[in-house]
Structure 1
């Protein structure tokens, strides 16, 4: 090969080296589930996806600029990309799902709970009971899939105050026109379960299956409920929408949000749940804390520090 030919080959190799070395960016996350043990119970967090929320406009701050300062302190901004999580509790005797996600009704970045349930090793037909913390669309919409029950063998349960409110034609008629879509969505999501005799509201504090109880936390909605799983002295509280923005409401639990139907009732429920969990070392599992949304609290002045659950691969 002549010296000129060798130079041409070298030049071509140098010109194409960068192209060959760069792999295309994948731009997708791993399946959104996280598993841990709570005594003898297996807990699986399921990510439905995320929603972009203008939290600076939704939260009711106590001092001007409080929300933006807290977000900036946490290296966050607005709109805030906010997780939507559900949780599976396998007691060994029952498979229980707490909340069902959006079913894609709130945009393409959410609606993944069912796929992540399957990725986690379960099938929707295996779910025995579905517990709804409240009937806002990002918690109840996932009950349905393509017009059919997403969990065909499950009993669906929520506080009777929640059912009486959202499933009432009279309450819907009294609501502002902009809010009536929420009623229609809740009614559509629960209708086939009701027709099959598998919609079974409960009244207040009650054990639903051995080791899993309902506890009233009214305020965010008329029948908002938290669920408590307890096994071998370990406890986890599934707090629903007692929490929306971790960067703000852990440091200051008195900050409320416009989604509350009664903020004056919702705020003390949040304060009580935080204080009990921090005092007893209980796990908390929240719908809108960054996935997997499971951790514990330490008191810090008038607020709390959030300590996410330590990652483990041990069974």
Structure 2
């Protein structure tokens, strides 16, 4: 798939525009939070949202197909201001017979203080990396696959990594090692570093098209952000949730304005079209979704607005022992 040259102005992924010079108010309210572990029941399956941390994003540098003033207006409407703090979410699925991790966070790739909290929160939830049976990557970008390795070594020693074949073909192709049509080489170098140990161990399952990954878990292609970007639909006893990866990066901007793209998109036009199509479907079906960069825990619904565009509606927070959800 051809890469639009306009897609990339950054040199690293996926958080290249860390905010510099945060004001005193922002710094003052930035303190260590409680553990990023939140459980939600889907039929017989237990889903645990795990935070890998947050990072600041300079949206003036990252968003495309929009003017800076419009970005600021949309952020103001959402009681936000640039730079915006963005969550990095992962999700653990306990099926009763297998432990399945959706995304693995950035690992050590973004440096101290930027992501890298997944393993600590996994342990806080009562699990160890060696217990994970399967890893579902929505796509091969550093904030989704970086946690696969640490210092070149496999972190999840017993896990099989499932990912769309078009992403494997694109990011692990030696011919793309120096970048493709303006899409920076670091995207490919980080992918190779994260995935290669699993490839060598025969632990990568590259699927094509709609695929039943495990009982109750189906992969659904949703390309555009990357060639092999995929959703994972989980169903159990009439309940369902769809893990939507990077169909959206900035809720305050891309829900009301689905045409707004970001420099990380391999194919911006396709990414925008796919977002509009998927949001319309989620809203019509009242589907429960979980997003990698929606405010933690990132679980909620998509509502279509009469004036146009969409709104993300988080699920109610539940904190009691005797509950089905």
TM-score tier after normalising by the smaller chain length: 0.7 to 0.9
The DSSP-based 3-state class of the residue aligned with 1:133 is coil
- Aligned counterpart, 1:238: 243
1:263 pairs with 2:285: no
CA separation in 2, counterparts of 1:82 and 1:248? 13
Structure of larger gyration radius: 1
The DSSP-based 3-state class of the residue aligned with 1:242 is coil
- Aligned counterpart, 2:4: none
- Aligned counterpart, 1:89: 93
The DSSP-based 3-state class of the residue aligned with 1:93 is coil
Cα shift at 1:180: 1.2
CA separation in 2, counterparts of 1:247 and 1:127? 34
Cα shift at 1:305: 2.1
Aligned match for 2:122, one of 117, 123, 129:
117
Gap runs ≥5 in structure 2? 1-28
- Aligned counterpart, 2:311: 305
1:68 pairs with 2:69: no
- Aligned length, in residue pairs: 291
- Aligned counterpart, 1:150: 155
Aligned match for 1:47, one of 23, 48, 51:
51
Structure 1 residues 75, 148: closer, same or farther in 2, change over 3 A? same
Over the aligned positions, Cα root-mean-square deviation in angstroms equals 1.8
Structure richer in helix, relative to its length: 1
Structure 1 residues 180, 174: closer, same or farther in 2, change over 3 A? closer
CA separation in 2, counterparts of 1:178 and 1:310? 39
1:290 pairs with 2:295: yes
- Aligned counterpart, 2:17: none
The DSSP-based 3-state class of the residue aligned with 1:65 is helix
Cα shift at 1:117: 0.8
Gap runs ≥5 in structure 1? 1-24
CA separation in 1, counterparts of 2:144 and 2:275? 18
Larger relative CO (CA 8 A, sep 6+): 1 or 2?
2
